[in-house]
Amino acid sequence: EVTIQNIVASGNIGMNLNLNELAMKLKNTEYEPEQFPGLVYKLPEAKATFLLFSNGKIVCTGTKSEEEVHKALDKLVENLKAVTKKK
């Protein structure tokens, strides 16, 4: 029997990201650019972890179904919009 334990999805959100700003404004982030170029963003409510890159590329891991991937991605976009609104 085969069971899905983890799905890894990748894509591009179509915009550049200021990872320093996101690291300061979002909770549950780890960003050490001298160690790794991506920001690690954990979404506990979606049981997902994202790697965000400044060029807009993303990797999502931790979900167990395609539906969970889409829900996590929706939450990511919602959170990004909330912290990157123009002042």
Domains of the chain (ranges, CATH numbers)? 1-5+17-52+63-87 (3.30.310.10)
pTM of the predicted model as reported, rounded to 2 decimal places: 0.91
Checking if the pLDDT of 87 tops 60, the result is no
* CA 75 to mean position of chain CA atoms: 9
pLDDT digits over 28-70, tens only? 999 999 999 999 999 988 899 999 999 999 999 999 999 999 9
pLDDT digits over 8-19, tens only? 999 999 999 999
Distance CA 42, CA 45 (A): 9
